[in-house]
Amino acid sequence: MSEDGEFRETFPALSKELEEKTTKTLKIDGVRTMAEETGPKGGTETFTPDVVDYIRRCDTVSQALEIVDYLMRRNEISPSQAREIKDQLKTDGLRSFGSKKEKDHYLHHGIGEE
């Protein structure tokens, strides 16, 4: 069987669309060129929350300040970062870091979404 006949047999609807020129066109806005951008292999994504993720779960500024102090003690943020975050909390408020992330946020919204 020829390649053309094999294609028609394997993909009859697509073959018909191509012959009748009724195919749809889609605009492609961008192309990913680097393999590193595709994420980890195996389909399993891991996520490590940062200070902002923890702050967005807080209900009060005092809770957020406690988180900042804790992360600074564990050397997960530097003293200068802690100072900047505390200043932002005092001047702009808790929600200046983003809306509150409720319980099970990532379960409902996924890892890469806000």
Over residues 89-110, the pLDDT tens digits come to: 999 999 998 888 777 656 555 5
Look at residue 47 and give its three-state secondary structure.
Answer: coil
pLDDT at 15 exceeding the cut of 60: yes
Q: Do 14 and 57 belong to one domain?
A: no
Q: Do 103 and 67 belong to one domain?
A: yes
Q: Do 63 and 93 belong to one domain?
A: yes
CA distance 8 to 35: 34
**In terms of DSSP H, where are the helices of the chain?**
3-10, 12-20, 51-55, 61-73, 79-92, 105-109
How many separate domains does the chain show? 2
Residue range(s) defining the domain that contains residue 96: 51-109
pLDDT at 9 exceeding the cut of 80: yes
pLDDT at 50 exceeding the cut of 90: no
Mean pLDDT of 70-83: 94
Burial classification of residue 43, based on how many CB atoms lie within 10 Å of its CB (0-12 exposed, 13-18 middle, 19 or more buried):
exposed
